[in-house]
């Protein structure tokens, strides 16, 4: 059973537990909401004054609504834990089962109307969390399953496991991401209710929303507040959109309900759509201009994947370049400059920044569409590992060495970035799709630049546990012997030692433990690339001696042969041979 079609507005109850609202006032507000027709109440187990009062908001609703819960939909959530002031995702099946049973007790019901995964847990496969919810649904403990704070790819994956009744995301004139990243459009297409939390900007941005010029302009014509126009605008997106303003006062609740009575005119919608076109695209899907000689070329790819190099081939064909590294500012700041160029008559432009998120691509595509110019996507389908090696190789080519974290942080060169830039891209990436409005998507596989003929060989050790005779044998056969080690806080990063007549070059990462801020700690490829470039090593003839996950990943990134310490010490005949990945 889905959310009732008659429900068009709900109450977000979170602030009744987190704000300074006394219990009698909170109960009166909930009673007033019910008496005025509100039939959707949104809560969560973690909505509580402190980590020791989990379930507070659920218990508050149960106390206020009593036996009237059969006439309404109470939507709660699980999948977060409170630890001091932190809210930590916990998508483990065990936690969700325990949290759901606690919510049943707090709400005083035998079945939860709508149970939502509060947020994906990056440490737990999404499928694991969803199968736990599907099991709870099968047991009759929850009626409908919902998702919160997810990406489009998450919704698609979830629907392969469980019937998704709702998706909850932040949506308001100040937060239009779900309109731009395809989530609202997807929910409309598949009849999934979209619960819009913070539709008035939330308590931190409500004043800012009240000052949005287009909302003020339309509100003045109707003699109402900007908040009421914002809610009326959301309801005009599509009937699946259910705003849940978080009122803490009765007058705010009454104002929100008054918005349902507003009838926006064609003039109103035209003015709102001009300022906020993303909503109009959901109501009236655009037709992308067909591919032509007049086109923008928008790149999607990891930092360091070779976008700038590939862009040169387009510049040679008469395209001009628009790039944040040249213009400065953010990706969003490029849109006014793009508009200016299109107005000036430019019709062949390359945008070769990363553009990982669909939202970041939206304004570019929409701006081009308004000017009748098609947008071609060039997607550098590069793996993280390939991009890492390429980024390090470029750094060494420019500087002759690996930069220190402090140098990368202050460098004006856009390609002097830390590993986090690429990790962030992987987290944010939403694969480009034709339905975004592209005329075409060119999938370009990674191609490393030519390395020339290399013949150098090396053995990379982590620890010096190998027999001296074995090392002598490899050294005599032309192998360099190198120890790559991790010594946080050590002073010397490079050195040489003599082990029984065998010269061993030592390179150490000395940076502090924690998230990688440098390129030299395995499994990151920095020191390996440095040595390959320095000595002209042929990766296919190099050996990594180790058995840790870091050694395995390091060797795979660089195409080196991995052997265990036992194998290396006992099998001298394996000196030659290609990489086994």
Q: Which residues are catalytic?
A: 47
* CA distances for 393 relative to 304, 390, 399, 449, 480, angstroms: 9, 5, 10, 10, 20
Element (DSSP H or E) covering residue 58: helix 56-65
| Spatial contact of 433 and 443, defined as CB atoms under 8 Å apart | no
526 vs 517: CA distance, rounded Å? 12
Residue linked to tokens 């502090």: 512
Q: Which residues pair with 88 in a beta bridge?
A: 81
216 vs 298: CA distance, rounded Å? 35
| Spatial contact of 481 and 475, defined as CB atoms under 8 Å apart | yes
| Spatial contact of 432 and 447, defined as CB atoms under 8 Å apart | no
CB atoms within 10 A of CB 310: 19
Backbone φ, ψ for residue 61 (5° rounding): -65, -40
354 vs 569: CA distance, rounded Å? 46
Helical residues (DSSP H) of 380-418, grouped into ranges: 384-399, 405-410
117 vs 75: CA distance, rounded Å? 11
Which of 292, 488, 274 is closest to 372 using CA atoms? Answer: 292
| Spatial contact of 97 and 132, defined as CB atoms under 8 Å apart | yes
| Spatial contact of 369 and 288, defined as CB atoms under 8 Å apart | yes
For the chain, the maximum distance between any two Cα atoms, rounded to a whole number of angstroms, is 91
| Spatial contact of 554 and 544, defined as CB atoms under 8 Å apart | yes
Contacts of 573 (CB under 8 A, 6+ apart): none
* CA distances for 74 relative to 13, 59, 62, 112, 248, angstroms: 10, 12, 9, 7, 18
Number of H helices, E strands in the chain: 25, 21
């Amino acid at each position: 059973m889905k959310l009732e079609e008659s429900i068009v507005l709900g109450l977000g109850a979170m602030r009744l537990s987190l704000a300074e609202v006394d219990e009698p006032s909170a109960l009166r507000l909930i009673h007033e909401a019910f008496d005025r027709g509100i039939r959707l109440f949104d809560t969560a187990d973690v909505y509580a004054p402190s980590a020791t009062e989990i379930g507070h908001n659920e218990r508050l609703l149960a106390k206020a609504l009593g036996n009237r819960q059969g006439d309404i939909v109470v939507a709660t959530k699980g999948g977060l834990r409170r630890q001091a002031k932190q809210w930590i995702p916990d998508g483990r099946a065990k936690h969700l089962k325990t949290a759901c049973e606690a919510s049943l007790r707090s709400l005083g019901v035998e079945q939860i109307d709508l149970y939502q995964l509060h947020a994906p847990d990056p440490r737990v496969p999404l499928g694991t969390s969803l199968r736990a919810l599907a099991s709870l649904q099968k047991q009759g403990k929850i009626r409908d399953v919902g998702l919160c704070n997810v990406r489009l790819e998450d919704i698609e994956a979830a629907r392969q496991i469980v019937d998704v009744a709702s998706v909850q995301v932040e949506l308001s004139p100040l937060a239009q991401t779900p309109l731009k990243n395809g989530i609202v459009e997807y929910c409309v297409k598949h009849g999934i209710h979209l619960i819009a939390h913070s539709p008035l900007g939330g308590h931190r941005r409500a004043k800012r929303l009240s000052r949005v010029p287009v909302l003020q302009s339309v509100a003045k014509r109707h003699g109402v507040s900007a908040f009421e126009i914002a809610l009326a605008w959301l309801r005009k997106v599509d009937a699946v959109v259910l705003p849940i303003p978080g009122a803490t006062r009765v007058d705010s609740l009454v104002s929100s309900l008054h918005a349902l009575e507003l009838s926006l005119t064609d003039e109103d919608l035209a003015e709102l759509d001009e300022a906020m076109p993303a909503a109009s695209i959901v109501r009236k899907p655009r037709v992308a201009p067909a591919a032509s000689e007049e086109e923008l070329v928008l790149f999607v790819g990891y930092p360091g994947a070779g976008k700038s190099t590939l862009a040169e081939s387009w510049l040679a064909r008469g395209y001009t370049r628009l790039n944040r590294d040249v213009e400065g500012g953010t990706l969003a700041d490029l849109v006014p400059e793009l508009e200016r160029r299109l107005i000036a008559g430019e019709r062949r432009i390359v945008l070769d920044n990363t553009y990982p998120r669909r939202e970041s691509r939206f304004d570019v595509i929409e701006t081009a569409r308004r000017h009748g110019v098609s947008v071609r996507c060039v997607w550098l389908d590069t793996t993280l590992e390939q991009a890492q090696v390429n980024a390090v190789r470029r750094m060494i080519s420019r500087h002759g060495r690996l930069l220190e974290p402090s140098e990368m942080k202050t460098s004006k060169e856009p390609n002097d970035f830390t590993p986090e830039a690429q990790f962030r891209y992987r987290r944010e990436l939403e694969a480009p799709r034709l339905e975004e409005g592209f005329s075409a998507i060119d999938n370009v596989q990674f191609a490393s630049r030519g390395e020339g003929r290399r013949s150098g060989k090396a053995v990379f050790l982590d620890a010096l546990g190998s027999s001296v005779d074995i090392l002598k044998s490899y050294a005599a056969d032309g192998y360099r012997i190198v120890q790559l080690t991790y010594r946080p806080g050590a002073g010397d990063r490079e050195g040489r030692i003599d082990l029984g007549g065998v010269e061993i070059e030592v390179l150490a990462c000395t940076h502090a433990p924690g998230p990688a801020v440098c390129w030299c700690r395995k499994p990151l490829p920095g020191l390996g690339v440095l040595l390959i470039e320095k000595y002209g090593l042929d990766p296919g003839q190099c050996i990594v001696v180790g058995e840790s996950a870091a050694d395995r990943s390091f060797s795979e990134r660089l195409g080196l042969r991995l052997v265990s310490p036992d194998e290396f010490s006992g099998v001298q005949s394996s000196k030659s041979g290609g990489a086994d990945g």
